[in-house]
């Protein structure tokens, strides 16, 4: 017993010394946003409720003797009962400016989708649960945890060009009645240039997932393309984007296949401590049982706007509004509008 105690003491002492002498560098960041949302749903009862979004993130990094930086991060808390981001992998940043993400590395297509301005508020409008229409540019991407993504350095092949390439293998799950990811590959690119007084950003991506299931054969695998353009002139940002693709077996489309397209546009203007956002998004989709060729039309048309005011350093008051018109299975469905008033405190 005495030997075991001495060994245990030596081990703890060694690990303690190592943790002090070899501790990685870290930073902490997060936010606390809370507010009240007022919902008005067509054909339903008006409601209001408090919404919260609390996050606390720890970012870790260290540089090797040859100049390569190894980094990762995790989220300690995410409001609404989520355990937070606990599945982050590692990023290796090389001296030439390129990077390699390993383990749950994400998707090169989604890395390069252009941000389109819209309401900065936390308001949402619930539509029919069977409505498969999308309103984001990156709806068709996805990868398993066994994946990598390589990011080139700036000015790759041409001034202002940066690209990413990603690949992942199957998730290791046995083939069952639900769709599973057998493999994924994606490419994305962002090109930035000056045009007169404007800084112009062009982003695009392509993603393709091969999947399988038992029973009915899959007619279309998940995949598609997106492209977006953003122009910043002084305090004014104008952006627009388009996406087209297929999605199989996840979310609203669980057990189904769907083809969809999305058009988005938005404007942001900053005037001192005030920021004004306006955005529109229009999505159409046709979903059907896996293996069939017939389908029904779903749609969502979203208009949103917000005003944000910097009250103090790190503290922003937000007033937001969103309106949704929706159609499910070719007929008008639950839609409506929502207001949001709240504040965000970031550190």
Note the pLDDT tens digit of each residue in 91-115: 999 999 999 999 877 789 989 999 9
pTM: 0.81
Give me the pLDDT at residue 42, please: 79
Q: How far is the C-alpha of 286 from the C-alpha of 299, rounded, in Å?
A: 9
Q: How far is the C-alpha of 80 from the C-alpha of 51, rounded, in Å?
A: 9
User: Higher-confidence residue: 131 or 275?
Assistant: 275
Percent of the chain clearing pLDDT 70 (strictly above): 78
Note the pLDDT tens digit of each residue in 167-209: 988 766 666 666 667 788 999 999 999 999 999 999 999 998 8
CATH 2.40.160.10 is the classification of domain 28-346: yes
Dihedral angle, C-alpha 305, 34, 230, 191, nearest 10 ° = -170
List Cβ neighbours of 113 (8 Å cut-off, separation of 6 or more): 137, 138, 188, 203, 205, 226, 228, 241
Note the pLDDT tens digit of each residue in 36-92: 999 888 777 888 899 888 888 899 999 999 999 999 988 876 555 555 455 678 899
List Cβ neighbours of 253 (8 Å cut-off, separation of 6 or more): 132, 247, 287
Give me the pLDDT at residue 4, please: 38
User: Higher-confidence residue: 64 or 143?
Assistant: 64
């Amino acid at each position: 017993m005495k030997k075991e105690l001495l060994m245990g003491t030596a081990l703890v002492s060694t690990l303690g010394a190592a943790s002090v002498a070899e501790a990685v560098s870290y930073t902490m960041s997060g936010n606390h946003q809370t507010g009240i949302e007022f919902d008005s749903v067509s054909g339903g009862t008006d409601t209001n409720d408090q919404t919260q979004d609390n996050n606390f993130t720890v970012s870790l990094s260290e540089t090797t003797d040859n100049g390569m930086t190894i980094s990762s991060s995790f989220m300690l808390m995410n409001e609404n009962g989520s355990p937070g981001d606990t599945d982050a992998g590692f990023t290796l940043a090389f001296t030439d400016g390129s990077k390699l993400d390993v383990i749950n590395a994400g998707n090169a297509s989604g890395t390069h989708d252009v941000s389109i301005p819209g309401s900065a508020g936390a308001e949402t409008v619930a539509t029919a649960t069977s409505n498969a229409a999308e309103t984001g540019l990156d709806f068709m991407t996805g990868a398993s945890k066994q994946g990598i993504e390589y990011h080139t350095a700036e000015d790759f092949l041409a001034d202002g060009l940066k690209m990413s390439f990603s690949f992942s293998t199957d998730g290791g799950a046995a083939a069952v009645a639900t769709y599973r990811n057998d493999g994924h590959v994606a490419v994305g690119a962002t090109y930035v240039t000056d045009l007169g007084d404007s800084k112009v950003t062009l982003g695009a991506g392509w993603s393709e997932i091969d999947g399988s299931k038992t029973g009915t054969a899959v007619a279309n695998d998940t995949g598609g393309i997106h492209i977006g353009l953003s122009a910043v002139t002084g305090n004014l940002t104008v952006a627009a984007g388009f996406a087209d693709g297929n999605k199989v077996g996840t979310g609203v489309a669980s057990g189904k296949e769907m083809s969809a397209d999305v058009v988005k546009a938005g404007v942001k203007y900053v005037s001192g401590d005030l920021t004004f956002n306006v955005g529109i998004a229009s999505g159409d989709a046709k979903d059907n049982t896996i293996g069939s060729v017939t389908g029904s039309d779903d749609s969502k048309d979203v208009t949103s706007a917000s005003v944000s005011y910097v009250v103090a350093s790190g503290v922003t008051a937000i007033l937001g509004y969103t309106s949704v018109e929706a159609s499910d299975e070719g007929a008008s469905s639950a839609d409506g509008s929502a207001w949001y008033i709240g504040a965000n405190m970031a550190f």
